[in-house]
Amino acid sequence: MKMEMIFIPSPATGHLMATVEMAERLLDENNRLSITVIIISFNSKTTSIIAALTAASNTRLRYEVISGEEQPTDLTATDSHVQILKPLVKDAVAKLLEQTRPDSPRLAGFVVDMYCTCMIDVADEFGVPSYLFYTSNAGFLGLLLHMQFMYAELVVPSLTRPYPLKCLPYIFKSKEWFSFFRTQARRFRETKGILVNTVAELEPHALKFLSNGDSDTPPAYSVGPVLHLKNDTDVTQAEILEWLDEQPAGSVVFLCFGSRAGPEISGALGDIHFSEEQAREIATALEGSGHRFLWSLRRASPNVMKEPPREFSNLEEILPEGFIDGMKCKCM
């Protein structure tokens, strides 16, 4: 029997494209499966991406676009802008199921983004299981799932060492964000499984804990790396891979702080940004370590909800004097 899955990604471009890549991989593995990706659109900047995806719709991979009435302009600890779209998502799925044909597929379940867990309620209404697509790594997933039990101690089962309190991410120190992510972690446990954008070789300890069956956490499956590698920079994927191939095995440190993070030149430190001084501290530490490294370094956006980070036209304005020339053979 043919089966239909509903994928609901977060509106952010990085999450959307990773979800599409994940859907395509699943379709390659199972010719009885078809997938409908329900795209939640708030931002006009994603219009061209959405148009390209919908134009590529076919019988096995379809796209349904749902537009939100209000676009979030600030990064806030709430998913209310997604919550209000649940009736529209329910109607869209119901219409898909109305298309009765002799070979009509059976609705098998939902795969929801880590920031769309409210859509688990819609899956429950249709009586099908929901799965979580977690676009970050397994170590952080374990920390997030454990945070609702953390008080004074920071011994996190998914991490190999005790976690220093001073290193806690901002979201765990903010009362507003802590409450939001604690609720998210509870909803994660309502799913039947978690697809994590990682590889077993990179995070064996975290994945072993998440999949040992000794807790109420759904089983975690490593499905990565799921990457959207198209970019508009001068450095191409081929150049990066060629440089990596020239380095000794296991010798390169990779630094990337997410699709929205970057150093804030103006000094107005945002919730998910780090300062110009911190960027220089990282550079100094890398130079002192002697390790080869690959660093994704971009200029922070004044408002990440309105525009993404941009590339630096001149890295010397952010890095220590002489750093680029001194490390030229060891970095990219």
For residue 296, give the nearest of 246, 253, 248, 242 by alpha carbon. Answer: 253
Distance CA 307, CA 12 (A): 11
Catalytic residue of the set 15, 79, 146, 273: 15
For residue 123, give the nearest of 27, 2, 8 by alpha carbon. Answer: 8
For residue 21, give the nearest of 55, 59, 61 by alpha carbon. Answer: 61
Cβ-based neighbours of 72, under 8 Å, separated by 6 or more? 42, 81, 305
Catalytic residue of the set 79, 91, 113, 234: 113
Q: Does the annotation count 15 as an active-site position? A: yes
Provide the terminal-to-terminal Cα distance of the chain, rounded to the nearest Å: 49
How far is residue 98 from each of residues 94, 101, 104, 120, 319, measured CA to CA in Å? 6, 9, 10, 21, 58
Question: Residues 263, 265, 270, 271: what is their CA dihedral angle, to the nearest 10 degrees?
Answer: 20
Question: Which residues form the catalytic set?
Answer: 15, 113
